[in-house]
Amino acid sequence: MEQVKVSVITIGDELLIGQVIDTNSAWIAQELNKIGVWVHRRLAVGDERNEIWKALDDESMVSSVILITGGLGPTADDITKPLLCEYFGGKMVMDDATLKHITYLFTQVFKRPLPLLESNRRQAMVPDVATILKNEVGTAPNMLFEKDGKIFISMPGVPHEMKFAVEKYVVPLLQQRFRLPYIGHRNLLTVGIGESFLAHRIKDFESALPSNIKLAYLPNYGMVRLRLTAQGDNETTETVLDKTFKTLKELVSDVLAIDEDVPFEILLGRLLKQSNKTVSTAESCTGGYIAHLITSVAGSSDYFKGSVVSYSNSIKEDVLQVSNETLATAGAVSEETVREMVSGVLKVMKTDYAVAVSGIMGPGGGSEDKPVGTVWMAAGNAEKIETKKMHFRFERVRNIELTAAHALHWLCMFIKNNS
């Protein structure tokens, strides 16, 4: 089966000086992957005429579909649209439908007085060689060009506008124009084993894999994700993939945390909804990040009641009822303290389960006894509290993220084992 090759070109100086992190291309890759399309190359260039021109030349040499994001704003630093017009040999004309849509947005949605600014009107100027794909969620129109059998689609760089265009236009177009292969992924996450030891354990499995199934190691947060990817042209591929995945799961069963690609905050939500229970958090070193992860999930208000971020010891005492003696003798970063934090927040928040963390995230605050990266965590309910000590070796924000991920894992395991 012919494989459709897709390139993504991202335009904007802000990407090349590092002021903005490119999350668009990851999202695009993920969406296309779901329908069996691989993004083969991703290229980022600045707001520079020659660089953009060369990018169009280069990518059209290797790919059949070139997706372009960014460079379409109303301001003068955006040069992409006139350049595309020239590249495809057209001239700029006013598009009445786009102008009508922009006028509608400014007057009805943004509630601005008329007349439009010249720069707003200019957004409705389009190359006459482009097919306009209406941007229902923003002012810059999407544009489709075709040249020498290649398809080019230019979209805004604003993430929700780009997402709209990919879902509404790009995905259906690819499905219609190409016969797409089946691509399947199976993911699992291991906790408590290093990448090379894991690889050693499953090396016979790996070398026996059929040629259309690939295994990837994705270490993250001090855990290792394994991903099997199969590609083929019929549903037997999926059957083989499932069988292979089952074998892999058996090989790592003792270190297996989740057998799918979902974050712990989603898993937590499922576990709590199943049993109709509630949870709260008591956070010292993570400063609310665990609560943030939990509440980033839609519908979390069904099971998450709240959190006490007790950054200072006085809050641990006053709000969470951690005893002064514990803080004085064992210290804020100790098994005793996280135990009392769990008990305290269970009472304050009246929830079924709670998790607590206390640690030293750095760069300051470490001691010989408790170096930077030392973390105590506890998960529990009214009957039982289980604690764990960990040690992370990264910089502050990374240590916070690692602590939160492991605390959520600890909490999920506790709920699984005690419900």
- Chain positions 334 to 353 lying near a copy of itself, rule: CB under 8 A, are 348-350
The binder of a copy of itself chosen from 54, 100, 179, 243 (CB under 8 A):
54
Q: Does 23 bind a copy of itself (CB under 8 A)?
A: yes
Q: What part of residues 285-304 is at the interface with a copy of itself (CB under 8 A)?
A: 286-292, 294-296, 298-301, 304
Positive or negative CA dihedral for 328, 331, 332, 338? negative
φ and ψ of 399, to 5 deg: -60, -40
Q: Does 390 bind a copy of itself (CB under 8 A)?
A: no
Q: Assess contact for 257 and 409: CB atoms under 8 A.
A: yes
Binding mask 121-160 for a copy of itself (x = CB under 8 A): -------------------------------------xxx
Q: What part of residues 96-125 is at the interface with a copy of itself (CB under 8 A)?
A: 110, 112, 117-120
The binder of a copy of itself chosen from 28, 257, 385, 415 (CB under 8 A):
28
Query: Which amino acid appears at position 2 of this protein?
Result: E
Give SS3 for 273.
helix
**Cα(263)–Cα(15) distance, rounded to whole angstroms?**
27
Q: Assess contact for 340 and 320: CB atoms under 8 A.
A: yes
Query: Scanning the structure block, which residue is given the tokens 């439908």?
Result: 97
C-beta atoms surrounding 3 within 10 Å: 15
**The one segment of 40-48, 79-87, 171-179, 379-387 that binds a copy of itself by CB under 8 A:** 40-48
Q: Does 215 bind a copy of itself (CB under 8 A)?
A: yes
φ and ψ of 262, to 5 deg: -125, 140
Q: Assess contact for 227 and 249: CB atoms under 8 A.
A: no
**CB-wise, 129 or 316, nearer to a copy of itself?**
316
**CB-wise, 129 or 326, nearer to a copy of itself?**
326
Q: Does 21 bind a copy of itself (CB under 8 A)?
A: yes
**The one segment of 41-49, 80-88, 147-155, 248-256 that binds a copy of itself by CB under 8 A:** 41-49
Q: Applying CB under 8 A, what is the total number of residues that bind a copy of itself?
A: 110
**The one segment of 72-80, 86-94, 383-391, 407-415 that binds a copy of itself by CB under 8 A:** 72-80
Residue 28, H or E segment: helix 24-34
Q: Assess contact for 123 and 103: CB atoms under 8 A.
A: no
In 3D, which of 295, 241, 305, 255 has the Cα closest to residue 404? 295
**Cα(242)–Cα(263) distance, rounded to whole angstroms?**
21
Strand ranges for 344-384 from DSSP E: 353-359, 374-380
**CB-wise, 11 or 379, nearer to a copy of itself?**
11
Residue 97, H or E segment: helix 96-104
**The one segment of 10-18, 85-93, 322-330, 411-419 that binds a copy of itself by CB under 8 A:** 10-18
Q: What part of residues 225-254 is at the interface with a copy of itself (CB under 8 A)?
A: 227, 229
**CB-wise, 119 or 275, nearer to a copy of itself?**
119
**CB-wise, 1 or 26, nearer to a copy of itself?**
26
Q: Does 13 bind a copy of itself (CB under 8 A)?
A: yes
**Distance in Å, CB of 296 to a copy of itself, minimum:** 5
Hey, which residues does 229 pair with through a beta bridge?
185, 214
The binder of a copy of itself chosen from 4, 11, 36, 45 (CB under 8 A):
45
Q: Does 305 bind a copy of itself (CB under 8 A)?
A: yes
**Distance in Å, CB of 114 to a copy of itself, minimum:** 13
The binder of a copy of itself chosen from 103, 171, 195, 255 (CB under 8 A):
195
**The one segment of 74-82, 147-155, 165-173, 408-416 that binds a copy of itself by CB under 8 A:** 74-82
φ and ψ of 162, to 5 deg: -60, -45
**CB-wise, 90 or 287, nearer to a copy of itself?**
287
Q: Assess contact for 164 and 136: CB atoms under 8 A.
A: yes
Which residues are within 8 A (CB) of 136 and not within 5 positions of it... i.e. 6 or more apart?
101, 164, 168
The binder of a copy of itself chosen from 39, 66, 67, 338 (CB under 8 A):
39
The binder of a copy of itself chosen from 42, 186, 339, 406 (CB under 8 A):
42
**Cα(232)–Cα(347) distance, rounded to whole angstroms?**
55
**The one segment of 45-53, 85-93, 250-258, 333-341 that binds a copy of itself by CB under 8 A:** 45-53
Q: Assess contact for 257 and 189: CB atoms under 8 A.
A: yes
The length of the chain is 419
